[in-house]
């Protein structure tokens, strides 16, 4: 078996807001080509964890490396699709322009987009099967189509890791299945970290699962104990996969 390299490492990471702990003693290792699902209750710190990895939030204490660098330097290798993409649906911007905006951080100030930037935008749209919609106004697309466009915007920088914060919000069940199939294809090229409330779907598609409620319960596998889940959600939890209640997810590979 080929040993995969570690690309993200968090050691005893704590984050406080107004002297209240949001993340408590987080230890996490993410390896190349991992497909990690992070589940947990609302307010448990899932979005904050992604922002700490990106260097958008500075932890109160602890050590973080992202591709061997600080999060601020390492995030150039990371694509990010936030939970809410707020925009005026009547604003006259087309799909191609939305995607190519992902190249802003890669070009020098006051420079126009190059032919290479446009080529990468076309490739990203083709990857998410939205190239035919490149001239469409973004606000006229369905929720699932918009999400594919936002994923393309994250892919246009050729990231080595993709962070997805609740990517299935406002997406119908048919499109959700298609998006999970897209993620399965993408993870052949990069690591993926997916935050979701859909415990059942996550248990089917990802390779590894972590549960976060300020503290992180993670065993570097697709296995969580009943105690992990109950301590995170503060109540008994069953995970439904293939219509059958499960507390251990090892069989769903």
Residue 252 lies in a domain: no
Residue 128 lies in a domain: yes
**Global pTM exceeds 0.95:** no
Residues 215/185, Cβ–Cβ less than 8 Å: no
Please give the residue that has the higher pLDDT: either 87 or 182.
Answer: 182
* pLDDT score at 247: 42
User: Would you tell me how many other CB atoms lie within 10 Å of the CB of residue 10?
Assistant: 23
Cβ neighbours of residue 107 closer than 8 Å, sequence gap 6 or more: 113, 114, 117
Whether residue 232 is predicted with pLDDT greater than 80 in this model: the reply is no
Q: What confidence score (pLDDT) does residue 246 get?
A: 41
pLDDT category at 84 given cuts 50, 70, 90 is: low
What is the mean pLDDT of the segment spanning 147-155? 94
Look at the block and give the residue holding tokens 């119908």: 172
The count of structural domains within the chain is 1
For residue 238, CA distances in Å to 191, 228, 231, 249 come to: 27, 11, 13, 11
- Across 68-89, average pLDDT: 86
Chain segment 27-77, per-residue pLDDT in tens: 999 999 999 999 888 889 999 999 999 999 999 999 999 999 999 999 999
State the chain's mean pLDDT as an integer: 84
So what's the pLDDT on residue 235? 52
Note whether residue 251 is domain-resident.
Answer: no
Q: Which domain holds residue 51?
A: 6-246
Residue 189 included in any domain: yes
């Amino acid at each position: 078996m080929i040993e995969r390299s570690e690309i993200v490492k968090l050691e005893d990471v704590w984050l406080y807001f107004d002297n209240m702990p949001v993340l408590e003693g987080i230890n996490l290792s993410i390896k190349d080509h991992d497909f990690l699902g992070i589940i947990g209750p609302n307010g448990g710190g899932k979005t904050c964890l992604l922002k700490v990895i990106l260097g958008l939030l500075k932890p109160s204490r602890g050590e973080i490396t992202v591709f061997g660098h600080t999060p601020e330097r390492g995030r150039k290798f990371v694509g990010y699709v936030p939970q809410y993409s707020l925009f005026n649906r009547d604003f006259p911007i087309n799909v191609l322009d939305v995607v190519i905006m992902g190249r802003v951080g890669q070009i020098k100030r006051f420079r126009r987009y190059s032919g290479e930037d446009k080529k990468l935008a076309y490739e990203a749209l083709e990857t998410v099967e939205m190239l035919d919609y490149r001239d469409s106004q973004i606000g006229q697309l369905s929720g699932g189509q918009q999400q594919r466009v936002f994923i393309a915007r994250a892919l246009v920088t050729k990231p080595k890791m993709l962070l997805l914060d609740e990517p299935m919000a406002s997406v119908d069940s048919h499109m959700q299945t298609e998006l999970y199939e897209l993620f399965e294809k993408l993870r052949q090229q990069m690591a993926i970290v997916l935050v979701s409330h859909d415990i059942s779907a996550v248990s089917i598609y990802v390779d590894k699962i972590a549960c976060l409620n300020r503290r992180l319960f993670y065993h570097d596998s697709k296995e969580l104990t009943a105690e992990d889940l109950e301590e995170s959600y503060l109540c008994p939890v069953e995970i439904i996969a293939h219509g059958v209640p499960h507390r251990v997810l090892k069989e769903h590979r």
